[in-house]
Amino acid sequence: MGEYHRKGFGLKDTVKPLLEAAYASRVVDLLRAKGRQLTRGNLTVRLAREFGFCVGVERAVDIAYQTRQRFPDKRIFITNEIIHNASVNKRLLDMGFVFLSGSYSQGETCDDIQSGDVVILPAFGAPVKEIEVLRARNCILVDTSCGAVVNVWRSVEKYARDQFTSVIHGKYNHEETIATSSRARRYLVVRDIAEAEYVCAYILGKGQREDFRAHFAKAVSPGFDPDKDLERIGIANQTTMLSTESMEIAARIRSAFVRKYGEEETQRRVRMQETICRSTQDRQDAVIEMMQPPPDAMIVIGGYNSSNTTHLAEISQRHCPSYHIDEAACMISRGQIRHLPMGAEQEAIHEHWWPDKTPLTIGLTAGASTPNNKIGETVLRLFELAGTDVTDLVAEAEALGQP
């Protein structure tokens, strides 16, 4: 078995300037300095109280950069995207990192790893079996799994030890949920309230076993038998889900148990662990705060495969027209915006999105894997579309950094 590192290499100060050059934004610093609100001409841009890089993502990217510094001559692999942000992953690709799966993979697999190679586990973690394979290859493992994700694993592992099935609110094909479910003895992944209701109905005797198995074919452990495996359950969730939905799902499933077994027996059969991470919760709370009153439109920036970003857009679109974009260039003109519509899998173009209003307020937030430079570019693009010359704004922002 090769080396295992989980804490970086003491090179934080060395990589700090590199990270700043790659991901910082003076425009975002200026917005912060101005109370997260900037007005130029008829447009006001309001930024959420909590936005962008979370502590887990910051740590993962920081450790990846430290790894490059520590092993300048070694091949460095990453098992999957380090975080869900295209610009960050592309930059790592440019720095010579090799992706073993996901959109940035160029065909290399675990079979290509040789003794002495370096392999990074991303912020979402990795499945148990994959880690075993890597350990057997005698490589240097650098584990950037976020502590909040590791906490979920602890709950799920405890459920497994006690012979409880893990019911996980999440997306069965999301890297974090794949890693989490790999630590369960038996598991069922429930995506939303509609699926939770399906499970509740089954618990209460309203459903066919084979229909259940077909419905959750991709979302259960091998050999899952809903008649046996839903007798004692522990509830957990992917850390980046909508927290209100996670709570509702847990409450509905528990209530189905109470109806079937009574309260006292339910206490022996159902365990619950709220595992939404603090950063996800803070970003969701900040969007809710921004909606009092709501802006005229809301821009949510983040990768289209970023679960937490999707949920920020879901919250804001209940209050105002909201657009989930992954970069400033998505705002093609005042007439057209490219964005990921709610519930869609593909980007689409929306016409006439710019609110016809004067004065105009546009709200802005960003998912936990969005670097500040992407947010700053979006702010400038909004002012450009409003017809403002941003030269002064850029100069003011740059002046912030001057001694």
Residues labelled catalytic: 176
Rounded Cα distance between 251 and 339, Å, is 33
Nearest distance, CB of residue 307 and ligand SF4, angstroms: 9
The count of residues interacting with ligand SF4 (CB under 6 A) is 15
User: How does DSSP classify residue 239?
Assistant: T
Residue 54 sits in the site that holds ligand SF4 (CB under 6 A): yes
Q: Which residues within the stretch 107-166 sit at the binding site for ligand SF4 (CB under 6 A)?
A: 123, 146, 148-149
Determine the length of the chain.
Answer: 403
Contact call for residue 308 and ligand SF4 (CB under 6 A): yes
The sheet carrying 297-301 orders its strands as: 37-40, 43-47, 360-366, 297-301, 322-325
Indicate whether 238 belongs to the interface with ligand SF4 (CB under 6 A): no
CB of 88 to ligand SF4, least distance (A): 13
Say if residue 17 is preceded by a cis peptide, omega within 30 of 0: no
Alpha helix stretches (DSSP H) within 301-348: 307-316
Show the site string, 188-217: x = touches ligand SF4 by CB under 6 A, - = not. ------------------------------
* Site membership for ligand SF4, residue 52 (CB under 6 A): no
> Least distance from C-beta 145 to ligand SF4, angstroms?
9
Among 85, 177, 239, 306, binds ligand SF4 (CB under 6 A): 239
Radius of gyration of the chain (CA): 23
Looking at 8, 52, 56, 363, which residue binds ligand SF4 (CB under 6 A)? Answer: 56
Closest CA to 313 of 342, 286, 285, 336: 342
Separation of alpha carbons 372 and 226, rounded Å? 45
CB of 73 to ligand SF4, least distance (A): 29
Please calculate the CA angle 210-211-217 and round it to the nearest 5 degrees.
85
In the complex, least distance from residue 147 CB atom to ligand SF4, rounded to whole angstroms: 7
Residues at the contact surface with ligand SF4, assessed by CB under 6 A: 54-57, 123, 146, 148-149, 239-240, 277, 279-280, 308, 368
